[in-house]
């Protein structure tokens, strides 16, 4: 690697991590950025009824405050990961932090729903800038022998932020209007920007040119697919849903054919030729579909079937993300010593058992009977997620760490979106016992993820 600029060809070996105490500061800014990005993916949900009432709109329109953010994140991940490989991951990460912080201020001062949705789109692009290169930066911050620990810490931060999101939102809304859900991001974002400016490492860059046409094609393809899947779950007309999904698949096929002939493609088809990478991505998509289905279906099971109130339901579901947060660092250490296929396969098999057991609760379950099942599912996912993410990041060549990082985040978001839509489909098809049927499908997807994960034991 050469000088401060960090420009180098793809075959020049990168330094093995950054020295102390710079590493601690770099880890801190990664933690702050990830917390902001993950927290804002869920924290706004709690305020949607209030926003709907104050903006004098409908629930169907107000939900675009959430959908606009998620869509912007998903279609921006791979282009920003590609820009990270070309211009440096540090630059893209700083760009993401700055855009996220400025757009958070715009969200906080929004006086109309249209302005709020536009600001959320910008905020989504900023969040994508953070998440698209997060894994790539972790690879360069930690020594390679400690990569699993770094990925495990990231998983802990992400799970903790996800778990406390509703509680943080409720605490803020108890003392302030919904605008403060966005305003609190500003000082934290400024702090993260200052630290990132001085302590994130410069990383190798490629000499490739940014693929503008490829970026446009993937944005349209992912956009059509995600909107189609979402509308499928919300019961839109079959013709429109089929048109959206087929359009997304068609444009996606054109993109894949185009990317096959490119060096360092925006859509990492080159990495998909690596069996360990491809199987890890497939296993990740199945796992997040399973988790999303369970997380969406469980509140209906606990409230409609067993009569728990909203607060109790939230508490009963907390053992799942907390278990992930506790297990992730331990799983990260194991991932540095044992194959991801073994750890991930065992983890997803355990998660399938935990979800399946939720479908066989007694007629009047106690909190303990629910809690330990949630914990089993969470422990299983914790043992899967960290080794799997390490496999995705670690199996790619260093100069393609950006593509691997972007694909990791894309697999997660695509799985979550598809899983949520599948719950709506199952609920529509099953006139009775919809939540139970959704949990059965979720357990089956977890078992499929386990099978794909175990198959990595033979991958090279």
Cα–Cα nearest to 85, from 2, 256, 203: 203
Encode pLDDT of 279-292 as tens digits. 999 999 999 999 88
Asked if pLDDT for residue 2 goes beyond 50, the answer is no
* Residue 310 banded pLDDT, cuts 50, 70, 90: low
* pLDDT, average across residues 62-88: 84
Residue 6: predicted pLDDT: 44
Instruction: Compute φ and ψ for 51, nearest 5 degrees.
Output: -65, -40
Asked if pLDDT for residue 9 goes beyond 50, the answer is no
- CA 183 to mean position of chain CA atoms: 23
Does residue 94 contact residue 102 with C-beta atoms inside 8 Å?
no
Residue 452: predicted pLDDT: 94
For residue 91, the surrounding DSSP H or E stretch is: helix 89-108
Q: Which residue shows structure tokens 């629930």? A: 59
- CA 17 to mean position of chain CA atoms: 25
* Residue 193 banded pLDDT, cuts 50, 70, 90: very high
Q: What is the dihedral of CA 333, 339, 341, 346, to 10 degrees?
A: -60
Does residue 255 contact residue 218 with C-beta atoms inside 8 Å?
yes
Encode pLDDT of 204-251 as tens digits. 787 778 888 888 998 899 888 888 877 776 666 778 888 888 999 999
- Lowest-pLDDT range of 21-30, 153-162, 328-337, 351-360: 153-162
* pLDDT, average across residues 368-373: 93
- CA 218 to mean position of chain CA atoms: 18
- The 8-class DSSP code of residue 399 comes to G
* Residue 166 banded pLDDT, cuts 50, 70, 90: low
Residue 175: predicted pLDDT: 84
Does residue 89 contact residue 30 with C-beta atoms inside 8 Å?
no
Instruction: Compute φ and ψ for 336, nearest 5 degrees.
Output: -75, -10
Residue 234: predicted pLDDT: 61
Encode pLDDT of 167-190 as tens digits. 777 778 778 888 898 998 999 999
Which are the contacts of 328, defined by CB distance < 8 A and separation ≥ 6? 152, 153, 155, 156, 159, 382, 385, 386
* Residue 450 banded pLDDT, cuts 50, 70, 90: very high
Residue 3: predicted pLDDT: 37
- Mean pLDDT for the chain overall: 84
Q: What percent of the chain has pLDDT over 70?
A: 91
Residue 59: predicted pLDDT: 60
The Cα–Cα gap between 323 and 2 comes to 43
Does residue 268 contact residue 403 with C-beta atoms inside 8 Å?
yes
Residue 34: predicted pLDDT: 87
- Lowest-pLDDT range of 170-174, 319-323, 332-336: 170-174
Asked if pLDDT for residue 460 goes beyond 80, the answer is no
* pLDDT, average across residues 145-172: 75
Cα–Cα nearest to 380, from 343, 347, 332, 358: 347
Residue 60: predicted pLDDT: 60
Residue 52: predicted pLDDT: 77
* Residue 120 banded pLDDT, cuts 50, 70, 90: very high
The Cα–Cα gap between 129 and 140 comes to 17
Q: Computed over its alpha carbons, how large is the radius of gyration of the chain? A: 21
Look at residue 332 and give its three-state secondary structure: helix
Asked if pLDDT for residue 13 goes beyond 60, the answer is no
The model carries a pTM of 0.79
- Lowest-pLDDT range of 115-119, 193-197, 271-275, 398-402: 398-402
């Amino acid at each position: 690697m050469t000088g401060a600029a960090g420009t180098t060809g793809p075959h020049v070996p990168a330094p093995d991590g950054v020295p102390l105490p710079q590493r601690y500061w770099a880890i801190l800014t990664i933690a702050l950025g990830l917390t902001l990005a993950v927290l804002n993916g869920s924290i706004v949900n709690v305020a949607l009824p209030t926003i709907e009432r104050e903006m004098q709109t409908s629930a169907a329109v107000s939900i675009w405050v959430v959908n606009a953010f998620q869509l912007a994140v998903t279609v921006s991940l791979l282009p920003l990961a590609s820009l990270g490989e070309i211009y440096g991951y540090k630059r893209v990460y700083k760009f993401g932090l700055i855009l996220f912080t400025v757009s958070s201020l715009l969200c906080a001062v929004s006086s109309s729903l249209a302005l709020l949705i536009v600001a959320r789109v910008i905020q989504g692009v900023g969040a994508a800038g953070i998440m698209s290169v997060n894994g790539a930066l972790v690879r360069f911050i930690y020594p390679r022998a400690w990569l699993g620990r770094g990925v495990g810490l990231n998983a802990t931060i992400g799970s903790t932020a996800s778990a406390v999101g509703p509680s943080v939102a409720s605490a803020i809304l108890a003392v302030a209007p919904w605008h403060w859900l966005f305003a609190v991001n500003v000082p934290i974002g400024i702090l993260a920007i200052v630290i990132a400016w001085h302590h994130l490492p410069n990383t190798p860059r490629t000499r490739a040119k940014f693929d503008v046409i490829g970026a446009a094609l993937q944005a349209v393809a992912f956009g059509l697919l995600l909107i189609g899947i979402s509308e499928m779950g919300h019961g839109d007309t079959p013709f429109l849903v089929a048109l959206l999904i087929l359009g997304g698949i068609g444009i996606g096929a054109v993109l894949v054919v185009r990317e096959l002939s490119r060096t360092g493609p925006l859509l990492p088809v080159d990495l998909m030729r690596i069996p360990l990478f491809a199987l890890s991505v497939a296993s990740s998509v199945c796992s997040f579909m399973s988790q999303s289905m369970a997380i969406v279906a469980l509140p209906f099971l606990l409230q409609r079937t067993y009569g728990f109130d909203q607060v109790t339901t939230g508490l009963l579901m907390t053992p799942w993300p907390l278990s992930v947060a506790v297990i992730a660092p331990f799983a990260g250490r194991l991932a540095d010593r044992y194959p991801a296929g073994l750890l991930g396969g065992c983890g997803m098999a355990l998660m399938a058992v935990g979800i399946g057991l939720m479908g066989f609760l007694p007629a009047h379950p106690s909190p303990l009977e629910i809690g330990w099942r949630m914990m089993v599912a969470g422990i299983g996912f914790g043992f899967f997620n960290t080794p799997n993410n390490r496999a995705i990041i670690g199996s790619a060549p260093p100069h393609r760490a950006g593509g691997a990082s972007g694909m990791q985040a894309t697999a997660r978001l695509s799985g979550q979106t598809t899983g949520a839509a599948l719950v709506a489909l199952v609920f529509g098809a099953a006139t009775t016992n919809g939540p139970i049927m959704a949990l059965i499908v979720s357990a089956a997807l977890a078992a499929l993820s386990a099978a794909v994960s175990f198959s990595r034991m033979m991958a090279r």
